[in-house]
Structure 1
Amino acid sequence: MTRLKRPPYSRLEVHLLREGIVESIHQGEVVVADDRGRILAVAGDPETVSFMRSSMKPFQALAVTSTGVMERFDLNDKDLAIVCSSHQGKIEQARQVFNILWRSDIEPSYLKCPIPEGKDSALQHNCSGKHAGMLAVCQQRNWDLDTYFHRSNPVQQLILNKVAELLCIPGAEIMTARDDCGVPTYALELGQMATLYAKLASGNSIDLERIVRAMTHHPTMVAGEGAFDTELMNLTDGMLVSKSGAEGIQCIGNIGQNMGLAIKILDGAKRAKYATAIHVLKQMGWITPTVAENLGDKFLRIDDYRRLEVAGELCLL
């Protein structure tokens, strides 16, 4: 990744306006990079480190696409989309997760993600697809199913090595910690996150290309009706691939331009990352005014009295 020798650029600010009066302010940092790791635009510090959280899921899915698991267990793109998902626990989504386990001859009791509050099964957890994918790889490779979520399990080492290979760094340099669902997540610089999404969008890897196709062809599996990722991918007809992460992380890849975008809202606010994404996508010309308006209706206007507005611009390098 290209290193900047300049001080950090100004951050973006997301203002919550109540009848036009600023009530709250969130700060955000943004990086746009290409698939060679060159930083093309920035707001804030591109070397800010944060856990990538669920925005890592398309790359954790490489364990599924690179090992022959899809062919071995006759899985399809809809199954792969749910592996990449942070879904809403709807019946159709939970059934898709179950389909992966059923075809892989794995009991749902092996899922180590928690049962969500008010739900009946771990299948309804928003990370259950990712867990099912990891279990399927362990089944195919005869790796231990009971410890699939441990850092030391070969499936987690496989994922770590895949990410390190994409970033051209040793895996030992990547900091890991347990995500809320129990499996490892990685702490990366924003510029590295943007580079990963540029590589995801580049089409230079068959395994990544298959993941993009699954996500863009089945966006409802990736999140759900009304969710930002699903709405964005639906409105852009497969030109953008999008995946949210917790604590203010949002990553997007531009398939036509081999570019990636990473956003971190410093206080972790979900509402602010969506507003920032719309603002940046408009500035970069990645969405049309019509798409921006449709997204704004859903994610900028909170109610009759409150709306979100982003101040500041990316610095194009």
Structure 2
Amino acid sequence: MAEAVALVELWRSGMVESRHRGHAVICDGTGAVLDAWGDPGAVIYPRSSVKMIQALPLVESGAADAAGLDDAELALACASHEGAPVHVTLVAAWLDRLGLSEADLLCGAQPSRDRAERRRMLLAGEAPSQLHNNCSGKHAGFLTLARHLGAGSDYNDPGHPVQRAIRAAFEAVTGQPSPCLGIDGCSAPNFATTMHGLARAMAVFANARPDAAEPRTRAAARLTGAMLAHPDLVAGEGRACTELMRAMDGRVAVKTGAEGVFVAILPDRRLGVAVKIEDGATRAAEAAIAGLLIRLGVLDPDHPATLRRLGGPIRNWRGIVTGEIRLAPGFG
């Protein structure tokens, strides 16, 4: 079994100060590995990088159509949003239309990650709610599916029909049984898979077309399209997912996950990409996915969104350039 390899380095004054090791895989539509660094068989928790997979049963079951969900709401179902007013308002309206409320969510309250909104709330003495949780859109999707299935409200239980449907979809698109599950930050199950399985799943989405015969394939295409149409809802202003998708003019969907996971869906190239940084560093995951997107010819290395993650100068508080983040030799 291969080990993690150096993917990203932090340079300061001509010396490598830090080195991030990890795994990366690129898959085509057949599920074949086109390129890999580290171990394609490494088992990981994909965390929030797989929210589009978790939303598959919502769409393929007919629940999304029955609830009248539009692309903005489907993008929120795939999102790790920052709890800005636009995100909170849309999720609240979605729940209200179903006759539900913030109290029905099971994700937990989280402070807004939008700086202006967080400051406003602090000054106003307003407590954060579950709507501000970065996973509130995903959980609104869970509630929508649970209602459609006539299932109970404890939708985070791994034995609940919602989670059983998600696991079935997850194992189908990864092409392998999940060996275990963990509980995510939002209290929902997170099914483990290999790096190969994660990249294969993203390739399934990349090859999905809206006119396909299979409901799951149409659902994958619809969710990918929703993410591409609403990059601002998938994350938020200043966030890597939003900025990188905008930089690629809606041609590639990307999604981060906690603990150094990042994925990409390339419909034009029909490729799926998965990255996992062994030490969980977000900065390294962002740099690594940017490097692979440059390698695949879909991201401009000189775009400001790229340079904020890879190759651009790191400055100290006085504006002095102190270093830069680079790809490790042999990667990207």
Same fold (TM over 0.5): yes
- Do the aligned residues in 2 keep the contact of 1:100 with 1:133 (CA within 8 Å)? no
For these two proteins, the number of residue pairs brought into alignment is 305
1:252 counterpart = 2:264: yes
1:305 counterpart = 2:312: no
TM-score, scaled relative to structure 2: 0.87
60-69 vs 243-252, greater mean Cα deviation: 60-69
Q: 2:102 aligns with which of 88, 108, 122?
A: 108
Alignment of 1:228-239 (within 5 A): 228-239=240-251
Following TM superposition, by how much is the alpha carbon of 1:112 offset from its aligned partner in structure 2, in angstroms? 1.1
SS of the equivalent of 1:25 reads strand
TM-score, scaled relative to structure 1: 0.91
1:138 counterpart = 2:146: yes
Following TM superposition, by how much is the alpha carbon of 1:23 offset from its aligned partner in structure 2, in angstroms? 1.8
Structure 2: tracts of 5 or more residues without a match: 112-121, 210-216, 316-320
- Do the aligned residues in 2 keep the contact of 1:16 with 1:24 (CA within 8 Å)? yes
Q: 2:284 aligns with which of 259, 272, 292?
A: 272
- Do the aligned residues in 2 keep the contact of 1:278 with 1:296 (CA within 8 Å)? no
Counterpart residue identity of residue 309, structure 1 = R
Counterpart residue identity of residue 308, structure 1 = I
Counterpart residue identity of residue 305, structure 1 = T
Aligned to 1:59: 53
Counterpart residue identity of residue 189, structure 1 = T
Following TM superposition, by how much is the alpha carbon of 1:298 offset from its aligned partner in structure 2, in angstroms? 5.1
Write out per-residue CA displacement over residues 179-226 of structure 1, whole angstroms, 9 at most, x where no aligned residue.
111000011110110000011111241100100110000000000011
Instruction: Measure the CA separation in 2 of the matches of 1:189 and 1:91.
Output: 36
Instruction: Measure the CA separation in 2 of the matches of 1:41 and 1:144.
Output: 43
Write out per-residue CA displacement over residues 111-146 of structure 1, whole angstroms, 9 at most, x where no aligned residue.
11121147521100011111110011111221101x
Write out per-residue CA displacement over residues 65-107 of structure 1, whole angstroms, 9 at most, x where no aligned residue.
1122222221100000011000001011011111221122112
Counterpart residue identity of residue 155, structure 1 = V
Aligned to 1:165: 172
Instruction: Measure the CA separation in 2 of the matches of 1:168 and 1:305.
Output: 45
Instruction: Measure the CA separation in 1 of the matches of 2:38 and 2:30.
Output: 21
Aligned to 2:117: none
Aligned to 1:192: 197
Q: What RMSD, in angstroms, separates the aligned Cα atoms of the two structures?
A: 1.9
SS of the equivalent of 1:305 reads strand
Instruction: Measure the CA separation in 1 of the matches of 2:173 and 2:206.
Output: 13
Alignment of 1:284-295 (within 5 A): 284-291=296-303, 294-295=305-306
Aligned to 1:3: none
90-99 vs 212-221, greater mean Cα deviation: 90-99
SS of the equivalent of 2:227 reads helix
Q: 1:154 to 1:294 in 2, by over 3 A?
A: closer
Instruction: Measure the CA separation in 2 of the matches of 1:301 and 1:224.
Output: 23
Aligned to 1:76: 70
Aligned to 1:4: none
Q: 2:156 aligns with which of 128, 149, 152?
A: 149
Instruction: Measure the CA separation in 1 of the matches of 2:186 and 2:241.
Output: 20
Instruction: Measure the CA separation in 1 of the matches of 2:286 and 2:40.
Output: 19
Write out per-residue CA displacement over residues 132-185 of structure 1, whole angstroms, 9 at most, x where no aligned residue.
10011111221101x111101100001111112223445xx4421111110000
- Do the aligned residues in 2 keep the contact of 1:10 with 1:44 (CA within 8 Å)? yes
Following TM superposition, by how much is the alpha carbon of 1:18 offset from its aligned partner in structure 2, in angstroms? 2.4
Counterpart residue identity of residue 284, structure 1 = L
Instruction: Measure the CA separation in 2 of the matches of 1:73 and 1:285.
Output: 39
Following TM superposition, by how much is the alpha carbon of 1:286 offset from its aligned partner in structure 2, in angstroms? 2.8
- Do the aligned residues in 2 keep the contact of 1:52 with 1:186 (CA within 8 Å)? yes
Instruction: Measure the CA separation in 2 of the matches of 1:89 and 1:195.
Output: 30
- Do the aligned residues in 2 keep the contact of 1:74 with 1:103 (CA within 8 Å)? no
Aligned to 2:213: none
Counterpart residue identity of residue 252, structure 1 = A
- Do the aligned residues in 1 keep the contact of 2:301 with 2:307 (CA within 8 Å)? no
Write out per-residue CA displacement over residues 246-280 of structure 1, whole angstroms, 9 at most, x where no aligned residue.
00100001111111111010000000111111222
- Do the aligned residues in 1 keep the contact of 2:181 with 2:189 (CA within 8 Å)? yes
Q: 1:124 aligns with which of 125, 132, 135?
A: 132
